A and B are shown apart, each in its own frame.
Chain A
Amino acid sequence: MAQIGSFALLIALALSVYSFAAGIVALVLRNPVPDGRAQRGVKAVDHSSDSFWSFLLAGLRQSSDRIAETARRAGLMVFVAVLLAAAVLVIAAFNNDFRIAYIFHHSNRDLDAKYKFATLWSGQEGSLVFWSLLLSGYAFVLRLRYKTDPRLFAYASVVLAAVQIFFLSLVNFAANPFGLLEGPLRADGSGLNPLLQYTEMVIHPPMLYLGYVGTTVPFAFALGALIMKYPGDKWIHITRRWTMVTWGLLTCGIFLGAHWAYSVLGWGGYWGWDPVENASLMPWLFGTAFLHSVMMQEKRGMLKVWNMWLVFGSFWLSIWGTFLTRSGIISSVHAFAQSSIGVWFAYFLAVIAAVFLFFYIKNREHLRTEHKLESLISRESSFLFNNLLFVLLCFTVAWGTWFPKISELVQGNKVTVGAPFYNRVAIPVALLLLILTAIGPLLAWRKTSFESLKRNFAWPTAGAVVVAIFLMLTPPSWGGPFGLRPWKDISYFYSLMAISLAVLVTLTIASEFYRGGKVISGHTGQGMFASMVQLTHRNTRRYGGYIVHFGAVVIIIGMAGAAFNQEKEQEMSYGDKMYIGGYTLVCRSYTDEEIPNYASEWAVLDVYKNDKQIGTLTPERRFYKASNQASTLPFIRSTINEDLYIVYEGLNQDTGHPILKAHVNPLVMWIWLGVWLMLLGTGLALVPNAPAQVRVPAPRLVEHPAPVATGD
């Protein structure tokens, strides 16, 4: 079994090398030779016209298409080979093949089937195979769709093959998942980390990896376009769509991770600013900046160089994040693996940067454009500030992540850079971004008159101010976010600002839908809702983008609720009561249970609100036998207003009573709703625009009217 897997990985590497080498040969042979060099070439051929080499060269030139096709097919087969290796690993997990060290360390006989499947990405070696599988999957799709633009796709394919060579070399020579254990066959495995034995962990890593790995594709197109001095802007359209897909998956992966942390780690929060979390945020921030600034290139032909760097930055940061989490260079609460492969990543990062820099310097003239702005109050300048803030946020996250290491190098001792740092530094920048999100859609390309901005902005601003005053005047007894007194605590101030600005953004988005819908309704006589649907369908990217913005502000409102979090810890015996945030928790019972994979302790709590029972909660703590590790399973009662979050912390050894910790976390559900909205908006933005009829006065009747598509 292990031999089949190892062999499949070796074959995949060989095919990648062939795809890379043959791809380069085909591109070199296919490229027209510049005039001067062509003349020199002709002379050389004249001198040795009957030589073997010139004959071979001519033959190769003629067959460059066939060489390119073999490179493409070899690239396609890489996917098949890596898929085989991954399948072997999964089958080995299901067969409890503990001769394979990886299976022994990450699985056990009683492990649930879905987690046996998840064994594939639960450890260092397997996750690298999984990374290679996704990368070859993306490359497979790209190579199948090569007819879109064969030359550009051929360049992108070569870049992808180079990245594949790196990852396949890793799994073949540095982190082979098919290594065998020496000595007698083990009866059972060490088991999967208990924190990973949660249903979401079956989805979260694939989503996150799809996002991470997906950044390779836009990079491949960008580098390919740079190398070949791609004429026109078609590459940026292709890259933008791939980036949107990748960005959507990365968004999904990041928030699934946040939801997993909230549901499993038991500390009542969803984001801890841990280096692993930061690593996923950085490429996302760069990708978000790109999705905004790419519009400048498509609409106005501006920022070509900047966009190229943003695409490169997203890819480089995703590899850098992987380097962070796997090298052990930065200590993290859930860096899931630390080993010597960090050196491989360090070299790879240097090589990517060097290659990109080389081609950028060589071909930068090709990207030169004449930038011209007509006004400071324009969509263009808002995008410039938007990009600045996204890149600054990325810098802040990177700076905070690396500062412990920098401090150690400079002053000889490490410091901690935790949530208080990020909250104080990143929140003001995020609030500035919210202001731009509100203003941006109201600004026209080229120039906006101050009067029109004032006219469009007046009502949303008034609405936001009314909401802010309402939140300040309402009594705190209504629960968060009501009764916000910004002078009492800086977190209340931030919370009030965030909610007010979120309302401002929402109202500007609503006004955009309303104004557009009104125009269509006026032309077609349709109802307002139907008009808005038609409006969205006519320009899916723009209105899908607005829905993404709306999702983002819903998430921000959810996060603003954290200012009102409450928590309480108490030891509880039969009939004991705990009071928190208007809830009364009564301990009805506590017990333990033994099942093959783990032993568990849990409590049964009745929950009352206003003297009425509203539910029964069963927070649990498990002890996994194979791995000898414990894990909490908080019980979360979610409503749109707030979450009641109960953690069974364990038994007091002296009294034998359970210790329970209760949290009341307002508005958390808004975060998960916001993510769905963001994904909906992203999906919508990928739908092609509906054709719209454009009326053009014609000298005579058009016999066969043909629809045309609207622009973005």
Chain B
Amino acid sequence: MTTKSNPALRRVLHCALLSLAVFALAGAGDPASRFHDLGHQLMCICSCNQVLLECNHVGCPDSDSMRNELQAAITRGDSDSLVQQAFVQKYGPTVLAAPTGTGFDRTAWIMPFVVLILGFGLVIYVVRLWKNRPAPAIADGLSPLRGAELEQFRDQARKETDL
């Protein structure tokens, strides 16, 4: 509504979004950072169980050649997914440091967030349930404290006990 009435502001917002996009994508196509990122998404297959770029065995039979392959693929201009596919075809799915986002592998990513959402739902339900429970009955002749008077007593109790 504001942008409609103010074209200058709209232009500023567009510029800000564009700048943000440029910042976000800055360095994404840089071969060195691609090598670093992809190298940390692949595992060395020498059974050291380490990320490819962190395998530190001198004389490791695999990591040097794998790094060279990765470097060659990046130099050729292969996309990230193409590089990953090539490694999976050659070394098997365990070469990827994390499950992919396709097929059954997707459940690995989804499940923690599903549990998080369900958990939050459950806790909110429980809190509402406990909050809406009726207060215990009070003996005849007594009237429960409410409002400012109750708050005053609570504050006093906290001051005296909650050190």
Contacts and interface: CB of A to CB of B under 8 A. Distances in A.
Given A487-B24, A539-B163, A710-B163, A376 B108 contact: no
A659 interface: yes
Nearest to A400: B108
Given A416-B93, A416-B97, 17 more contacts: A267-B56, A372-B136, A391-B119, A392-B112, A395-B115, A413-B92, A414-B93, A415-B94, A415-B96, A418-B98, A425-B109, A449-B151, A485-B23, A487-B20, A487-B23, A487-B24, A649-B57
A651 B58 CA distance: 8
Interface in A380-439: 381, 384-385, 388, 391-392, 395-396, 399-400, 403, 407, 410-411, 413-421, 424-425, 429
Interface string A429-465: 1000000000000001011010000000000000000
Interface string A627-670: 00000100000000000000101110000000101000000000
A417 B56 contact: no
A176 to B, nearest CB: 30
Contact of A417 (B40, B99, B113): B99
Contact of B54 (A269, A421, A516, A520): A269
Nearest to B126: A384
Nearest to B119: A388
A413 B161 contact: no
B49 A419 contact: no
* Chain B interface residue bracket vs A: 35 or more
A414 B26 CA distance: 35
Interface of A: 266-269, 272, 274, 331-333, 370-376, 381, 384-385, 388, 391-392, 395-396, 399-400, 403, 407, 410-411, 413-421, 424-425, 429, 444, 446-447, 449, 485, 487-489, 516, 519-520, 535, 538-539, 632, 647, 649-651, 659, 661, 692, 710-711
Given A384-B123, A410-B104, A414-B94, A375 B99 contact: no
Contacts of B92: 413
Interface of B: 20, 23-24, 26-27, 40-41, 43, 48-51, 54-59, 92-100, 103-105, 108-109, 111-113, 115-116, 119-120, 122-123, 126-127, 130-131, 133, 135-136, 151, 154, 158-159, 161-163
A267 B59 contact: no
A267 to B, nearest CB: 5
Contacts of A266: 56
A413 B100 CA distance: 13
A420 B109 CA distance: 11
A425 B112 contact: yes
Given A391-B119, A488-B27, A519-B163, A416 B112 contact: no
A535 B163 CA distance: 7
Nearest to B26: A488
A373 B130 contact: yes
Contacts of A444: 154, 158, 162
Nearest to A388: B119
Nearest to A333: B49
| Max chain B Cβ within 10 angstroms of own Cβ: one of A420, A485, A535 | A420
Which A-B residue pairs are the 9 nearest by beta carbons? A650-B58, A333-B49, A418-B97, A421-B98, A373-B130, A420-B98, A487-B23, A649-B58, A396-B112
A404 B20 CA distance: 38
A517 to B, nearest CB: 10
Given A392-B116, A414-B94, A429-B116, A267 B54 contact: yes
